[in-house]
Homo-oligomer: A and B are copies of this chain.
Amino acid sequence: MSILCVGSVALDSVETPFGKADRVLGGSAVYFGAAATAFHPVQIVGVVGDDYPLDDLGFLEARGADLGGIERAAGESFFWAGRYHYDLNTRDTLDTRLGVFADFDPKIPDAFRGARYVFLGNIDPVLQLDVLDQVAAPDVVACDTMNYWIEGSRDALLRLLERVDILLVNDEEVRQLAGKSNLLKAASWVQDRGPGIVVVKKGEHGAILFGDDWIFYVPGYPLEEIFDPTGAGDAFAGGFMGYLAQSDSVDAAHLRRAMVYGSALGSFACEEFSIGRLRDLTRDEVSERVRHFRRLTAFETDFEGDGAVGAVASAATGSPDGS
């Protein structure tokens, strides 16, 4: 079994207060794949131009990705250039050239059509629907979107949501989609339209999962240097879906852990330009960070025997972040 991921395969030029990277590997499918393959094989569908250094994606194949769905078309690859501000919470887009991505018409290879876990990266909802039509019977469909589609392709997006199990968006997007500023109400609005699970990504402020009648919160990982936040949301989605597919479960306990794995992978993505930190990431490094996440939020109540005293006491002694 694999995860099917459809999204952009791009080249990015990025400036941050820490440095500059020119035409490096980027795109939602690349970040997603680099993160998800820490847990589970991924089948990637996308399009690149004849300028794309496909060989540089070899590391993804080495980690278990199948790149057989990446089409090479005549023309330029999707290119994005941006500059992050001093506080890294805001950025200016300096250039966006869609290139061959403008005519992207995802064709799912026969070998991919049996996928049981599907991630629809941030592309036109009409294309996301078209992808779903090509997949036989997925068990778990997750998707991302953005303000551009919320404004411009609302009808298609609402049709898509009816067929989606998990929506992963940022806080601004879910508020815009639902027309509600309160996140609880916005998530509930989305849940009434299809996705039983809504994951709201809040960047440095962490992420919240809204389930059927429960909520789970994971903080942003405190990094001394957020070197380059590009792709952190896609790496989050990759860690989240990769862990679920590996577990082949979407029960509450696995969803909670998937949130932490997603947040861990998102934090690693910020530590270097492009997928630099993700390409050789080991399971041990991921596990160590997940332990840190546990120490960040674990506490014991003092008014009931809740059985977790030993666990949290051990979580509360040790390393620089609460251990």
A contact residues vs B (CB 8 Å cutoff): 86-88, 181-185, 202, 205-206, 208, 211, 213-219, 222-226, 252-253, 256-257, 259-260, 287, 290-291, 294-304, 306-308, 310-323
List 29 contacting pairs A-B, 8 Å CB cutoff, sorted by A: A182-B225, A183-B222, A185-B224, A208-B219, A211-B322, A214-B295, A214-B320, A215-B222, A216-B296, A216-B299, A216-B322, A217-B296, A217-B297, A218-B297, A219-B297, A252-B316, A253-B299, A253-B316, A257-B299, A257-B301, A257-B302, A259-B299, A290-B303, A291-B301, A291-B304, A298-B298, A307-B308, A308-B312, A311-B311
Name the distance in Å between A253's Cβ and chain B's nearest Cβ.
Answer: 6
**Do the beta carbons of B297 and A301 come within 8 Å of each other?**
no
User: How many copies of this protein are present in the complex?
Assistant: 2
Question: Per DSSP, are chain A's interface residues mostly helix, strand or loop, or mixed?
Answer: loop
Sample of 13 further A-B pairs with CB below 8 A, known A253-B312, A297-B297: A182-B223, A182-B226, A211-B322, A214-B319, A214-B321, A215-B296, A252-B317, A253-B299, A287-B304, A291-B301, A294-B299, A298-B308, A306-B315
A211 to B, closest residue via Cβ: B322
User: A172 to nearest B CB, angstroms?
Assistant: 11
Complex: chain B residue closest to A290, CB-CB = B301
* A320-B213 contact in complex given A218-B297, A301-B294, C-beta closer than 8 Å: yes
CB distance from A301 to the nearest CB of B (A): 6
| Closest partner residue, chain B, to A88 (CB atom) | B181
A314 to B47 alpha-carbon distance, docked (Å): 46
Query: Which B residue's beta carbon lies closest to that of A209?
Result: B322
Q: Tell whether, in the assembled complex, residue A219 and residue B217 are in contact, meaning their CB atoms are under 8 Å apart.
A: yes
Known: A300-B257, A311-B311, A316-B253. A219 touches B222 (CB 8 A): no
Residue of B nearest to A188 (CB): B224
Query: Measured between C-beta atoms, what is the minimum distance from A266 to chain B in Å?
Result: 15
